[in-house]
Amino acid sequence: MGIDIHHTHTVEVGYDEFCGALAARDLQPLWKIARQLMPEVPLPTTQAWLWKWDDVLPLAKRAGELITLERGGDRRVLALANPGLKGLPFTSTTLWGALQYLGPHESAPAHRHTPSAIRFVLTGSGVYTTVNGDACDMEPGDLILTPIWNWHDHNNRSDEPMVWFDGLDLPLLTTLESIFFENHPDQLQPVEGNNLSEQGFAGVGLREMGASSPVAHSPLLRYRRGETERTLEALHRARGGALVSLEYVNPLTGGPAVSTFACEMHRLYPGTRTPTKRKTGSSVYVVFQGSGRSVINGVRFDWGPGDIFVTPSWAGVDHEAYERADLFAISDRPVLQALHLYREEELTEGQEISGTFVPLKGATSAADSSRNEH
């Protein structure tokens, strides 16, 4: 016998009882939820938010005194938890942003996982992260990749702590239910050499014949601040304008350094407000140097060195620097592009500012914010 529509009994109940019967059978009527499910434009639960360096750093330092690095916790990391995401430790629905603190002469043990990570160094010196045997030195302004399923441990040889920004695709991989994790059999993995990945790219456009390369991510694991600086200067000389932006790419493919999110650097020059743009997907911005403000959906976010903020999907965003400023950013754009979901547009009119973000409290209205000012 096949599937028979006549064989089953009919239900004769009123509408309220009918709705109850649906719920009891784990069914939901689309007609009640269609507008929520498919709004005309993205209505993100990710909220525009900002974490001040001055609020986070003292707590990271205190964590340095209270927490030791042992198997289990593995890392001294403070996740930037978006208040829109119901207590999840995620900065947006796709991106993990965090500050990691590694004390003098400490090591964080070796492990690997399917989430890809990047480190953008904020302060400190004399630290290296070993990535599959390649000891990558970390200095302020450097970007270090620890891509999908690569063994990694962090080691501080100096007398000073180091603080860096961690960006991961962990929320995305949580949704995709594809997270695997493994501890290395030893506390630290063996080191094969120092900055080996850079040696493979000693000349622009030159590469050892037949050199093997990973397919899932960039073969270059360390992007030095000096190279970023040179490229930003060259871009500014060529283009001028209030904003120059670069992307950290896989030198072999021109694609993103890791496949699941983009790494970018934006240099803002003072005196001009950038045009308002919106795009699908979220971004996490890390202020490396300089100060300024960004307006996100009409709310003003003031920032300075070490501050971190997140822009939700389809939010109107513009920036203005008070002094020359460098914003490092990660974004889920590569995923949206691969799925043909990426859209961006520039608004013809600038945004009016309707309120100011108050750190720790969130957005307040213009009237409230003036009352709160002291």
The token pair that represents 247 in the structure block: 């992307």
Q: In this structure, what are the phi and psi dihedrals at residue 27, rounded to the nearest 5 degrees?
A: -120, 150
The span from the CA of 357 to the CA of 48, in Å, is: 9
Judged by CB under 6 A, the residue of 82, 91, 92, 100 near ligand GTQ is 100
The span from the CA of 64 to the CA of 113, in Å, is: 24
Cβ partners under 8 Å of residue 6, min gap 6: none
Instruction: Tell whether residue 122 is a contact of ligand GTQ (CB under 6 A).
Output: no
Instruction: Tell whether residue 127 is a contact of ligand GTQ (CB under 6 A).
Output: no
Q: Of the two residues 50 and 127, which places its CB atom closer to ligand GTQ in the complex?
A: 127
Binding mask 217-256 for ligand GTQ (x = CB under 6 A): ----------------------------------------
- The least distance separating ligand GTQ from the CB of residue 117, rounded to whole angstroms, comes to 6
- The least distance separating ligand GTQ from the CB of residue 339, rounded to whole angstroms, comes to 25
Q: Of the two residues 91 and 250, which places its CB atom closer to ligand GTQ in the complex?
A: 91
Question: H helices within 109-216, ranges in order?
Answer: 170-175, 196-199
Judged by CB under 6 A, the residue of 138, 168, 221, 243 near ligand GTQ is 168
Cβ partners under 8 Å of residue 145, min gap 6: 116, 117, 118, 131, 217, 218, 220, 221, 222, 257, 258
- The least distance separating ligand GTQ from the CB of residue 100, rounded to whole angstroms, comes to 6
Size of the site for ligand GTQ (CB under 6 A): 8
Instruction: Tell whether residue 363 is a contact of ligand GTQ (CB under 6 A).
Output: no
Instruction: Tell whether residue 117 is a contact of ligand GTQ (CB under 6 A).
Output: yes
The token pair that represents 347 in the structure block: 């608004």
Judged by CB under 6 A, the residue of 106, 134, 137, 166 near ligand GTQ is 166
Residues 41-80 that bind ligand GTQ (CB under 6 A): 75, 77
Question: H helices within the chain, ranges in order?
Answer: 15-24, 30-37, 53-66, 170-175, 196-199, 225-239, 333-338, 366-372
Instruction: Tell whether residue 98 is a contact of ligand GTQ (CB under 6 A).
Output: yes
Q: Of the two residues 152 and 293, which places its CB atom closer to ligand GTQ in the complex?
A: 152
Instruction: Tell whether residue 121 is a contact of ligand GTQ (CB under 6 A).
Output: no
Judge whether 92 and 279 are in contact, CB under 8 Å: no
- The least distance separating ligand GTQ from the CB of residue 181, rounded to whole angstroms, comes to 8
Instruction: Tell whether residue 152 is a contact of ligand GTQ (CB under 6 A).
Output: yes
Cβ partners under 8 Å of residue 98, min gap 6: 77, 78, 79, 80, 91, 165, 166, 168
Residues 73-92 that bind ligand GTQ (CB under 6 A): 75, 77
The span from the CA of 295 to the CA of 125, in Å, is: 33
SS3 127: strand
- The least distance separating ligand GTQ from the CB of residue 328, rounded to whole angstroms, comes to 15
Query: What DSSP state is assigned to residue 162?
Result: E
The span from the CA of 217 to the CA of 213, in Å, is: 9
Interface ranges with ligand GTQ (CB under 6 A):
75, 77, 98, 100, 117, 152, 166, 168
